[in-house]
Amino acid sequence: MSNDALHGHPEVVTTHDAHHDEHHVHHHKETFITKYVFSQDHKMIAKQFLITGMVWAVLGGLMSVLFRLQLGYPDQAFPWLEDILGRWAKGGKISAENYYALVTMHGTVLVFFVLTGGLSGTFANFLIPLQIGARDMASPMMNMLSYWFFFGGSIVMVSSLFVQTGPFSGGWTAYPPLSALGDASPGSKVGMDLWITAMALFVVSSLLGGLNYVSTVLNMRTKGMSMTRMPLTMWALFFTAVLGILSFPVLLSGFILLLFDRHGGTSFYLSDIYIATTQQALPNEGGSAILFQHLFWFLGHPEVYIILLPAMGLSSEIISVNARKPIFGYMAMVGSMFAITILAFLVWAHHMFVTGLNPFLGSVFVLLTLLIAVPSAIKVFNWLTTIWKANIRFTPGMLFALGFVSLFISGGLTGIFLGNSTLDIHLHDTYFVIAHFHIVMGVSAFFGMFAGVYHWFPKMYGRFLNNTLAYIHFWVTLAGAYMIFWPMHYEGLAGMPRRYFDYSNWESFKQFAELNKFISTVAIIVFAVQLLFLFNFFYSIFKGRKVTTMNPWGATTLEWTTPIRPGHGNWVGEIPEVHRWAYDYSKDGRDFIPQTEPIGPNESHH
Amino acid sequence: MAQAVPANQKWWGGGKSPFNVEYGKLMMWYFLMSDAFTFGAFLISYGTVRFSSNGWPDPNEVFKSFPGMGHANMPLVFVSVMTFILIMSSVTMVLAVGAGHMNDRKSVLKWLAWTIVGGAAFLGCQAWEWAHLHAEGAWWGRNPFHNFDGTEASTNFTNFFFTITGFHGFHVLSGVVINIIMFIMTYRGVFDRRGHYLMIEKAGLYWHFVDLVWVFVFTCFYLF
């Protein structure tokens, strides 16, 4: 090869190839430990992330059910709560302190441990090597470590639920001084230390994973798989990894400074503080609580796209496969994801419009924030034009992908309200914000994740999920999500603030008592339906309908050229070569043409 | 090295690395970008707090001591020595990487050893500086130094100084450990058996990055 001599590293190319070959040749003995626990197979690691994420989702969801009980039925006691929660719910009523702990942990768990670790961890690990044509990740060892750091972080975070003073309760954003001073609240004591430790482990996990995803996508594509022949899932997961690599370290810096404020006697975030509980004026001077908010949201906003981009990628792919049409505007899709990645770093201060930010600076951030509407709208129109006049197969995966588009539109539109700094004066810290971000990044990302699970379950376990249960799951979740969050827009517009324990004392918010009851009831039903999904998942692993063909969905991409139950190394024999992009559906009278098929002499241009 | 790339060479066409590097080096570059953001966040935080403060201590006053020179007024001399040592260790690292390209094990060992010595010397200097400042009453949460205008300063000068130089020192320490591991691996002939000294190159990237970061840390704390 001519490039061997180019940089004086002939070994570069050879080691790379040798690395590939040794994977499908070796038949080393696998024990239970190396196969299921400390596995270095990307497919098993993906399943570990998925199932850990599911455990977290149940915990996080259950927390929301518990605090919705308080919000929906503030005057009622539920004696069974004391049975399961003990001193958290003395007399069957969750105390205010524990209500805040539940809200905080619900946010932390779902944002980081489910929708970041669970979503990226699962699908980046599972799909990247399969869809670009690689035997495994660039570094299977680091990949394994990425999961175990995630697991370690999970354990530490869970352990904070069981300490005497309770888990952190100052909100998932962990703003100081609540997070910096142990005396500020019970949850700010050891619970907060465990919270920071868990998050630091999570950042390490995310870094190890992200480095792997990026270098695998860049370096290990099979022959013919140019960047623009990759399925959109790959682009999405690639940009997600880049976002994580560049934004999580800033959060880590913020946490290190926070740790010093907590234990080192520093005042990075602290100035002029009087603590009422201990009747003490603190000597700290010169710090700035706003500084933490800048550091936090420099991660916090890209984090939204770390959650959303994988869902976009998964949905794009699933919509195209099930519409039997090429994705509309492939390059526009890639370009808009790139634009979102860049803009993600430039809009963080829109979370801080009312913190005393200079209004002129605010207007710059308004402009940059509203700019995100452009690539977002391009993506939405491309999804819609992809299904335009298509012969749609309404598989459960497809339904969830379409549900994702619906939710992304509904939630995205309210983002335009909130991105405006003048409207934000009225809307900030109200239920309008809750409704907005739950629809646009919470539920919609969940829908992308469900779509992915339903679509790739046959590849993961060689069986299908049960369709009837899937349809029940979809319709109840979609209707439920709108019934929960739609009314919150009204509450928010009426000025109902978030993070209150009990609204029944306020004349202005009493009117929503019945609405809150309604929301809580629907939330419980939706939660129950997720348990149905879990049942379907675990039941189908063992008893689901077996997959009998290699390519059950008739998809073009490489993962469907592997055996039904691929081993470590994915392909038996050579890795296939790629000759075309991933979206040749309904072309030249054929239903689909796999990426591995060479371009025919009479083939039309796409 | 200067060989022309054939016109039909498709670098991004798959089947090979578009940058003609193996994955580990690519990962190292991305890691360094990530780490640059960590330090960037620290230094921007420092700038934010400093500019919102009414005053700040004078580095010429704070850093005027030199080991064994008593109370002689030698502003920034010691830190210049430290910086020189660290930059020289980058030079020896370049030589080690260069020797690695030639598969010259003996030279790699020699230059790596000098790099390790340089790194350790820098850490030693930093330890002395910290100990000296500590003896003067400076620490996290304690600042004995006055502002330029003689008014009493907040503790944030020392808070940031110890946190950021400490974080950098931690990076240097990791770098020294990595270099020691590289030295042992080279000594045992691991890279000769592999046929290439790519690991030295990756360790070198990290080492240069740590030096580069020091230039910024040095500028922020000692020069302004």
- Please indicate whether, in this complex, the C-beta atoms of B41 and A250 are within 8 angstroms of each other: yes
The tally of CA atoms less than 13 A away on the side-chain side of residue B201 is 19
Which of A6, A212, A215, A242 is most worth mutating to test chain B (most B CB atoms within 10 A of its CB)? Answer: A215
Query: What pLDDT is recorded for position B14?
Result: 87
Region B125-141 average pLDDT: 95
Which of B10, B37, B142 is most worth mutating to test chain A (most A CB atoms within 10 A of its CB)? Answer: B37
Query: Residue A368: which domain range?
Result: 36-270+286-592
Task: Report residue B100 as tokens.
Answer: 């690695």
Chain A residue with minimum CA distance to B39: A253
Region A289-316 average pLDDT: 96
Query: What pLDDT is recorded for position A4?
Result: 36
A584: left (phi over 0), alpha (psi -120 to 50) or beta: beta
A21 domain-assigned: no
Region B30-49 average pLDDT: 96
Q: What is the dihedral of CA A485, A490, A492, A494, to 10 degrees?
A: -160
- Taking the C-alpha atoms of residue A213 and residue A211, their distance in angstroms, rounded to an integer, is 6
A16 domain-assigned: no
Q: How far apart are the first and last CA of chain A?
A: 32
A234 domain-assigned: yes
Cα–Cα separations (whole angstroms), residue A194 to A179, A188, A297:
12, 10, 21
pLDDT band at A601 (very low <50, low <70, confident <90, very high): confident
Region B123-132 average pLDDT: 96
Task: Report residue A568 as tokens.
Answer: 């470590």
Task: Tell me the β-bridge partners of B147.
Answer: B57
- Taking the C-alpha atoms of residue B187 and residue B180, their distance in angstroms, rounded to an integer, is 10
What is the pLDDT of chain A when averaged over all its residues? 92
- Taking the C-alpha atoms of residue A330 and residue A337, their distance in angstroms, rounded to an integer, is 11
DSSP conformation class of A267: -
Q: What is the sign of the dihedral through the CA atoms of A49, A55, A60 and A64?
A: positive
The tally of CA atoms less than 13 A away on the side-chain side of residue A256 is 19
Contacts of B217 in chain A (CB under 8 A): none
Contacts of A134 in chain B (CB under 8 A): none
A206-237: b (≥16 Cβ within 10 Å) or e: bbbbbbbbbbbbbbbbbbbbbbebbbbbbbbb
Query: What pLDDT is recorded for position A606?
Result: 59
A492 domain-assigned: yes
Q: Which segment of A142-146, A424-428, B67-71 scores lowest on mean pLDDT?
A: B67-71
Region B137-148 average pLDDT: 94
What confidence tens digit (pLDDT) does each residue in B78-122 have? 999 999 999 999 999 999 999 999 999 999 999 999 999 999 999
Query: What pLDDT is recorded for position A10?
Result: 36
Q: Total domain count for chain A?
A: 1
The beta-carbon neighbor of B26 closest among A215, A252, A577 is A215
A598 domain-assigned: no
Chain A residue with minimum CA distance to B26: A215
A158 domain-assigned: yes
**Between residues A573 and A319, which one has the greater pLDDT?**
A319
DSSP conformation class of A19: H
Q: Which CATH superfamily includes the segment(s) B23-47+87-142+155-223?
A: Cytochrome c oxidase, subunit III, four-helix bundle (1.20.120.80)
Region B4-26 average pLDDT: 80
Contacts of B13 in chain A (CB under 8 A): 223-226
Is residue A84 scored above 70 in pLDDT? Answer: yes
- Taking the C-alpha atoms of residue A176 and residue A290, their distance in angstroms, rounded to an integer, is 9
Contacts of A252 in chain B (CB under 8 A): 38
- Taking the C-alpha atoms of residue A187 and residue A180, their distance in angstroms, rounded to an integer, is 11
- Taking the C-alpha atoms of residue A64 and residue A114, their distance in angstroms, rounded to an integer, is 14
Chain A residue with minimum CA distance to B46: A268
What confidence tens digit (pLDDT) does each residue in A175-226 have? 999 999 999 999 999 999 999 999 999 999 999 999 999 999 999 999 999 9
Share of chain A above pLDDT 90, in %: 85
Instruction: Say what the pTM is.
Output: 0.93
What ipTM was reported for this prediction? 0.93
- Taking the C-alpha atoms of residue B67 and residue B132, their distance in angstroms, rounded to an integer, is 9
- Taking the C-alpha atoms of residue A475 and residue A481, their distance in angstroms, rounded to an integer, is 10
- Taking the C-alpha atoms of residue B106 and residue B187, their distance in angstroms, rounded to an integer, is 9
Q: Where are the alpha helices (DSSP H) in A324-358?
A: 330-344
Count of CB contacts below 8 A, A vs B? Answer: 172
Query: What pLDDT is recorded for position A604?
Result: 82
Our CA-based measurement puts residue B180 at a distance from the nearest CA of chain A, in whole angstroms, of 22
CATH of the domain at A241: 1.20.210.10
What HEC string does A497-558 produce?
A: ECCCCCCCCCHHHHCCHHHHHHHHHHHHHHHHHHHHHHHHHHHHHHHCCECCCCCCCCCCCH
